[in-house]
Amino acid sequence: MKKVIVQFSSINALMAGLFDGVFSVGEVKEYGDFGLGCSHALAGEVIINKDFLEADGDKAVKVMDNDELLPFVQVTTFQPDKVVDVNDVSKNNLYWHLAQYLLLDNVFVAVKISGRFDELKIRRPFVQHKPYPSVVKVFEQQVVDTVEDVTGTLIGFWTPEFFKELSVAGFHLHFIDTTHKLGGHVIDFMASKAELAFERKQSVEIMLPVNEEYLRKNLKMDDLNKVIKQVEN
């Protein structure tokens, strides 16, 4: 199996305000069943773990239909290179845990962490309406929850720093609990014991939108990295 992440659109397009979905769930499914993204009009965070799940600001989690649209998504097949038990793992030390097993500064890595999380901080946006506000304004109004003793799975990717204008540099993780009632973008997490699975990816393929709004949009953002960090964290 080709070790490739397929990315639909770019992070700077999303940060520049292109929130309309242009890729269908059915189309994305052809490229894998593991990953993350966001739904049309930033209505929710998307967690791809076999099913395509959407967690919205109203705390609802649903399975997405094939005809629903996505503005940004990363997807792959997940066949882990290694699965290990880890202790006292958090977002702050996840790099250290992975670095015990592979050199990751210059490669992409698909990451899955399963278990009971002592503490988890997640966020979900609310659906937006045109004319869309700036992405910073959107996430100033997001729902942020800190929950304790929740069992589920973190799914996401490690992206090297030098790809920061293509995707989110560092770790980008989404969460879904075992009951599929709680999900969202992960701001922080801590687990005393968990299972860590990872797969190094050899390449990334980019599927760019072809609609007129994308083609005419000025995607140059002088403060792109600052905006990404503000939104992601």
pLDDT in tens, 68-127: 999 999 999 999 999 999 999 999 999 999 999 999 999 999 999 999 999 999 999 999
pLDDT at 55 over 90: yes
Q: Per CATH, the architecture of 4-232 is what? A: 2-Layer Sandwich (3.30)
Predicted confidence (pLDDT) at residue 216 exceeds the cutoff of 90 = yes
Tracing tokens 């980008």 back to the chain, one arrives at: 172
User: Based on C-alpha coordinates, what's the Rg of the chain?
Assistant: 16
Q: What pLDDT, on the 0 to 100 scale, is given for residue 40?
A: 97
**CA 143 – CA 24 distance, rounded (Å):** 26
- Give φ, ψ of 222 to 5 degrees: -65, -30
For the chain, the domains span 4-232
* pLDDT on residue 79: 96
Report residue 223's pLDDT band, with 50, 70 and 90 as the boundaries: low
> Which whole number is the average pLDDT over 205-223?
89
Q: What is the pLDDT of residue 12?
A: 87
Write out the two tokens for 80. Answer: 């882990």
CB 115 within 8 A of CB 193: yes
Cβ neighbours, 10 Å, residue 147:
14
**pLDDT above 60: residue 1:** no
